[in-house]
Amino acid sequence: MTDAPSTPTEPVAAENNQPQLRILTQYVKDLSFENPEAPDSLRGGSAAPAIDIGIDVQARTLSENTFEVVININGKASRDEKVTFIAELSYGGVFQLNNVAENEREPFLLIECPRLLFPFARRILADTTRDGGFPPLMLDPVDFAGLFRQQLAKRAAAVPGADTNGNADPATSN
């Protein structure tokens, strides 16, 4: 008699039906950095610039269970009415979703997938602004669930009677 726990040789059926999310690849789709006032913008002693950040998430279907998700981050810094720098990053990933019902896909694609991509996009943007001669632009964590809810509210306002439960086609999400 052994004290070792027995392990089943076949997976439990319930586990096979659990939603599965796999990252197949991730990549920089587009990256742009402009420093239009250089070298004047890099002089010390100047006041800190005002920084505006915009974040958008898009998803599109590549095949039955494979999707591309792209985070678009736009940062613009201004000081005294002059643009100090502009940084734009589109960071994408290809994801495979298994055992996810069609009406549950959009939240996976627009909340969970960008949540996995964001730390990498954040680092790239920080490195880019640092390499441009500025302190690294360190983005705060993003509430992708909140962004998703805002997107649903906009969609409902644009189309009276629209479904606000996230049951839209992810290929048309912006």
Range 124-142 burial, b when 16+ CB lie within 10 A, else e: bbbebbeebebeebebeeb
Task: Give the model confidence (pLDDT) of 31-51 as tens digits.
Answer: 999 998 878 777 766 777 889
Walk me through the domains of the chain, giving residue ranges and CATH numbers: 18-160 (3.10.420.10)
Enter the DSSP assignment of 39: T
Task: Give the model confidence (pLDDT) of 142-172 as tens digits.
Answer: 999 999 998 888 888 887 655 544 444 444 4
Task: Give the model confidence (pLDDT) of 71-130 as tens digits.
Answer: 999 999 998 888 999 999 999 999 999 988 888 899 999 999 999 999 999 999 999 999
Residue 166's pLDDT is: 46
